[in-house]
Structure 1
Amino acid sequence: MKHYLITDPSFYGSSADSLESSLEAVFSKNIPDFILYRDKSTSEYPQLASAFVKICRRYTIANVLLHGDYPLAKSLGADGVHLTSMQFNAITEAKKLGLYVVISTHTYDEALKAQELGADAITYSPIFFSPAKGEPKGLEDLKEIVDKIRVPIFALGGITTQEQIKAVEECGTYGFASIRYFI
């Protein structure tokens, strides 16, 4: 079961120093297999993303991803990009750059489209209650998607406990993604 850490400025701050100290605290307890720098509100995203990539390289994180901006991911030497559910048209371009591509999905049709377009993995969400993320899909829905889709699936949304991790693992997911679990 792969562990995928997603950052959020409310937990990691909006400066290179706060990002570094927050990541160091997290990495002292847990080294994720995948990590995503996500901050939708900063105007300093390129500079912070650069610091993020450098910090993650020091800790030899296997898969360092940036959110949405695949040209920036390539230029900063990130391993890949996590695209939003509005960026299906960017899958092909990101793949042409040699990037590992994860895309957010919320329906079977989106998951199937991501698979057909060549995404390397998807997140499927929300599985459990997560603030401001809509009605949870639940484990039955997750299991159904896992059984139908061949691309690796990260369960996402409200995963904060070992019991929830075990439950999504039992559904056959490739891994889980979370913000709050790693804090």
Structure 2
Amino acid sequence: MKKYLITSREFYTDTPAIFRTILYEQFTKHSPDYALYRDKTNPNYNIQAAHFVEICKEFKEIKSFIHRDVKLAKETGASGVHLTSTQSDEIEYAKELGLEVIISTHTIDEVLTAEQKGADMVTYSPIFASPNKGEPKGVEELETLLDICKIKVFALGGIISHEQIELIKNTKAYGFASIRYFY
């Protein structure tokens, strides 16, 4: 099962030297397969994104993704872009630039739309209770989705324990994504 580490300013800070150190430590400790630079408030987002991609490249097995910004993902040499659920119209453009595309989804219809438009993967959330993310879908709904779609699905939302990861491992999910688990 694949692991997808998502950064958050709350845990990873926006000071470049500290960010790089924390990221390096977490990559070494958890060995994620995918990593996303996501920071909605950093005034130096582009600079930090470049640091992020640089660190990911030191870990050759980690694919790097930039949140929301297709052009920045291409400019930094990231593996791909992670689009929000409202950006499905940008999937084709990102693919034309040679980027892998992960898109956030919260409904089965959004997953099927992302699949039809050519996204490579989706995150589906929230599976478990997560702050300010609404009612959790649960593992049963995740299993229902996985029986319907063919796209690779990362379970996301409220994943903080090994027990939750084991529940996801027992499904056909491609992997799990988390912020708090990796910090």
**Class of the TM-score when normalised by the shorter of the 2 chains:** over 0.9
Give the equivalent residue in structure 2 for 1:95: 95
Shift of 1:182: 0.9
Q: Distance in 2 between matches of 1:170 and 1:145?
A: 14
Uncovered stretches (5+) of structure 1, i.e. residues with no partner = none
**Structure 1 stretch 81-90 or stretch 25-34: which is displaced more?**
25-34
- Runs of 4 or more off by more than 3 Å in structure 1? none
Q: 1:33 to 1:126 in 2, by over 3 A?
A: same
Match of 1:162 in 2: 162
Distance 2:28 2:78 in 1: 22
- Aligned residue number for residue 46 of structure 1: 46
Q: Does 1:35 align with 2:35?
A: yes
CA distance in 2, matches of 1:72, 1:24: 22
Q: CA deviation at 1:27?
A: 2.2
| Alignment match, 1:77 | 77
What runs of 5+ residues in structure 2 fail to find an aligned partner? none
Compared with structure 1, are the counterparts of its residues 148 and 117 closer, same or farther at alpha carbon in structure 2 (3 Å cutoff)? same
CA–CA distance in 2 between the matches of 1:28 and 1:116? 36
Can you list the C-alpha shifts for 1:100-129, whole angstroms capped at 9, x where unaligned?
Answer: 000000001000000000000000000001
- Does the residue aligned with 1:28 lie in a helix, a strand or coil? helix
Which letter does structure 2 place at the counterpart of 1:168?
A: I
Which has the larger displacement, 58-67 or 100-109? 58-67
Cα shift at 1:62 = 2.7
Q: 2:169 aligns to what SS in structure 1?
A: helix
> Once the 2 structures are TM-superposed, how far is the Cα of residue 57 of structure 1 from its aligned partner?
1.0
Matched residue of 2:144: which SS?
helix
Q: Distance in 2 between matches of 1:5 and 1:28?
A: 12
Q: Could you tell me which residue of structure 2 aligns to residue 105 of structure 1?
A: 105
Question: Deviations along 1:79-138, whole A, 9 cap, x unmatched?
Answer: 000000010110000000010000000001000000000000000000001111111001
Moved more, 32-41 or 61-70: 61-70
Helix, strand or coil at the partner of 1:177: strand
Query: In the TM superposition, what whole-angstrom CA distance separates every residue of 1:39-98 from its partner, at most 9, and x where no partner exists?
Result: 001121100000111111112243100001011101110000000001011000000001
Q: Report the secondary structure of 1:123's partner residue.
A: strand
Q: How many residues align?
A: 183
Aligned counterpart, 1:56: 56
Which amino acid is the alignment partner of residue 156 of structure 1?
L
> Do the aligned residues in 2 keep the contact of 1:70 with 1:94 (CA within 8 Å)?
yes
SS at match of 2:113: helix
Give 3-state SS (helix, strand or coil) of 1:90's partner: helix
Which amino acid in structure 1 is aligned with residue 121 of structure 2? Answer: A
- Would you say the 8 A contact 1:35–1:61 is kept in 2? no
CA contact (8 A) 1:80 1:101 kept: yes
3-state DSSP class of the match of 1:158? coil
Q: TM-score when scaled to structure 1?
A: 0.98
Instruction: Return closer, same or farther for 1:172/1:4 CA change in 2, 3 Å cut-off.
Output: same
